[in-house]
């Protein structure tokens, strides 16, 4: 089976995107051909615009089209509390709670010796610089409950301890709406360890 050439090329590009398999790539490409020419041009333009205008905030390394980013330059955000996340997508997830009013620090990765990513490959020294320069009262570690996330949390805790500021970690435990019966052992263990006195 041979796709007509421009279609094959477009399918190939769609397939390079994360979580897009060959079947979905084909469906998306066929859909593009059925879209109006104007829509396709706007889509292509949005791709290029996102790529060329978005870069990283010099302060917190969040993706942004302004520098400093919208959050760092927002005067109503509390600059004394820094929430440390691995990626912009984690920052977005926390922003969606609408309940966090501090600022962020995006590490742009996690320590992962298996993948050859050491402490110097992520934005750790920039975090220490911020803590050193500014009046920071609390660091909230919001990293994934994975081996890499735990390792990075431990490492950061050790580095931040000398600054004598409050260091906290988001809670790991049962997700809301879940059932205890179906929780895995590690989650239950973390939930027990993290129990809160009432």
Q: Is 171 in the site for a second copy (CB under 8 A)?
A: no
Q: Is 175 in the site for a second copy (CB under 8 A)?
A: no
Q: Which residue lies nearer to a second copy by CB, 108 or 187?
A: 108
Q: Is 101 in the site for a second copy (CB under 8 A)?
A: no
* Whole-number Å distance between alpha carbons of 56 and 79: 18
Read off the DSSP letter of residue 181: G
* Whole-number Å distance between alpha carbons of 39 and 131: 46
Assess contact for 121 and 76: CB atoms under 8 A: no
Q: Is 92 in the site for a second copy (CB under 8 A)?
A: yes
Q: Is 158 in the site for a second copy (CB under 8 A)?
A: no
DSSP string, 74-111: -TTSEEEEEEEESSHHHHHHHHTTS---EEEEE-SS--
Q: Is 117 in the site for a second copy (CB under 8 A)?
A: no
Q: Which residue lies nearer to a second copy by CB, 4 or 135?
A: 4
Q: Which residue lies nearer to a second copy by CB, 74 or 134?
A: 74
* Whole-number Å distance between alpha carbons of 100 and 104: 10
Site for a second copy in 10-69 (CB under 8 A): 10, 12-13, 16-20, 24, 26-33, 35, 37, 39-54, 63-66, 69
The gap from C-alpha 167 to its chain's centroid, in whole angstroms, comes to 20
Read off the DSSP letter of residue 175: P
| Cα–Cα nearest to 109, from 86, 138, 77 | 86
Question: In this chain, which of 75, 76, 98, 164 binds a second copy, going by CB under 8 A?
Answer: 98
Q: Which residue lies nearer to a second copy by CB, 48 or 198?
A: 48
Q: Using CB under 8 A as the criterion, which residues of the chain lie in contact with a second copy when the complex forms? A: 1-7, 9-10, 12-13, 16-20, 24, 26-33, 35, 37, 39-54, 63-66, 69-70, 87-89, 92, 95-96, 98
């Amino acid at each position: 089976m041979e796709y007509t050439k421009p279609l094959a090329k477009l399918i190939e590009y769609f397939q390079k995107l994360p979580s897009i398999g060959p079947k979905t790539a084909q469906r998306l490409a066929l859909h593009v051909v059925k879209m109006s020419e104007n829509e396709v041009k706007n889509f292509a333009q949005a791709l290029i615009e996102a790529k060329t205008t978005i870069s990283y905030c010099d302060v917190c390394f969040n993706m942004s089209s302004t520098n400093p980013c919208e959050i760092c330059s927002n005067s109503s955000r509390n600059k004394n509390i820094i929430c440390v996340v691995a990626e912009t997508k984690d920052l977005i997830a926390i922003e969606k709670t609408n309940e966090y009013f501090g600022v962020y620090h995006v590490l742009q990765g996690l320590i992962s010796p298996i993948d050859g990513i050491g402490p110097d490959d992520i934005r750790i020294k920039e975090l220490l610089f911020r803590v050193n320069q500014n009046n920071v009262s609390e660091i909230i570690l919001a990293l994934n409950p994975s081996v890499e996330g735990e390792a990075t949390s431990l490492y950061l805790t050790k580095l931040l301890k000398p600054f004598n500021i409050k260091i906290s970690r988001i809670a790991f435990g049962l997700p809301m709406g879940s059932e205890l019966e179906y929780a895995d052992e590690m989650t239950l263990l973390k939930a027990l360890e993290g129990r809160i006195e009432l």
